[in-house]
Amino acid sequence: MSVSDTTTSGSAIRGLTPTPTTNGPTTMRAIQFTRYGQPTVLETVELPRPEAGPGEALVRVAGTTFNPVDATLRAGFLAEVFPVDLPHVPGIDVSGTVIAVGEGVSLDLVGRDVVAFLPMTRPGASAEYAIVPAELIAAAPQSIPLADAAALASSGLTAWQAVVEHADVRAGQRVLVNGAGGGVGGIAVQLAAAAGATVIATASARSRDAVAARGAAQVIDYTATPVVDAVSEPVDVVVNLVRTSPEETATLVSLVKPGGVFVSTTTPGVAPAGTDVRAVSLFVRSDAAQLARLVQLVDSGDLRVDVSARYPLEELASVHRLGEAGELRGKVVLTPSRDSDGDRERNGDGGDPR
């Protein structure tokens, strides 16, 4: 698999006169926290609507998501690594419609439906409007609801960078995805299977059917069987999406055959000396070209976005509580509602990668 040249950002959207951002409402509803702490620090507030600066677009938000890292940031556990200015509006995934652009961004972007993975330290998309660096924007998929497109951004990029960029999964290989029940895991399984690999996945019983439907040849219920006991022979690639102890991580690395790759988004792996195993610690980055390729796969029917639950944005604190309790599966989408009594649509229970 390779990244195509299709993008919606970069030189294609630069160089024209900016549009004014004074039309429309001057304020917006948003969720923010003014201090680190429990989900109760998340509060609904009225804020001035932001304006697009140079190289930026103002997006009317259709959807954002809950990611485990959102809870970690809110709790302050990553304050030294990803320092944010308080008060902070969370939400690293965004889908919506561009309503204005700043200097250096093409007017052609205005009116387009877009998707992006936002910088973790900047104001996020848990609001009616969000500022998005234009270079991070890709056109949103046309085949799924615009709000659901937010579920593709960070999860899709993490899976792509793990499976395609770092592991370079190919036909005939055996790939273990540890934590396949979450948003990243479901896409990683699909990408590896589409490359022609035999995919072994770990998931809880509640996620088993969904993971199998995404292309896993074997689904291991990690609550019933140790992974090392269920994997009968070495694998070419391990993609680890679950927080594991050093001992558990070493066990996963031991499953990789010589010349193989261990990619982890959580606990770093250490390749034993002389084994020719490559260990990669993945810190996902925003990449508009890769995101555009993922969008193409969605619209061609070759990639499915698993949205397990949808909530009004005002229920973000409740979603954080559910996520921290391990009660979410797949990807959860939150949508700004025009009234605070917006109905909640639920398909399942969505977040925990297992």
| pLDDT bracket for residue 353 (50, 70, 90) | low
What three-state secondary structure class fits 46? Answer: strand
Q: Which residues pair with 281 in a beta bridge?
A: 264
Domain annotation for the chain: domains and CATH numbers: 10-154+286-346 (3.90.180.10), 155-281 (3.40.50.720)
- Residue 272 pLDDT level (bands cut at 50, 70, 90): confident
Mean per-residue pLDDT, 51-56? 98
Closest C-alpha among 91, 98, 297, 329 to residue 210: 329
pLDDT in tens, 145-171: 999 999 999 999 999 999 999 999 999
Q: When comparing pLDDT for 62 and 338, which is higher?
A: 62
Q: What is the 3-state secondary structure (H, E, C) of 192-243?
A: HHHCCCEEEEEECHHHHHHHHHCCCCEEEECCCCCHHHHCCCCEEEEEECCC
Amino acid in the structure at residue 31: I
- pLDDT tens digits, 303-348: 999 999 999 999 999 999 999 998 888 899 999 985 533 343 433 3
User: What's the mean pLDDT in 23-41?
Assistant: 94
pTM: predicted TM-score of the whole model, two decimal places? 0.89
pLDDT at 215 over 80: yes
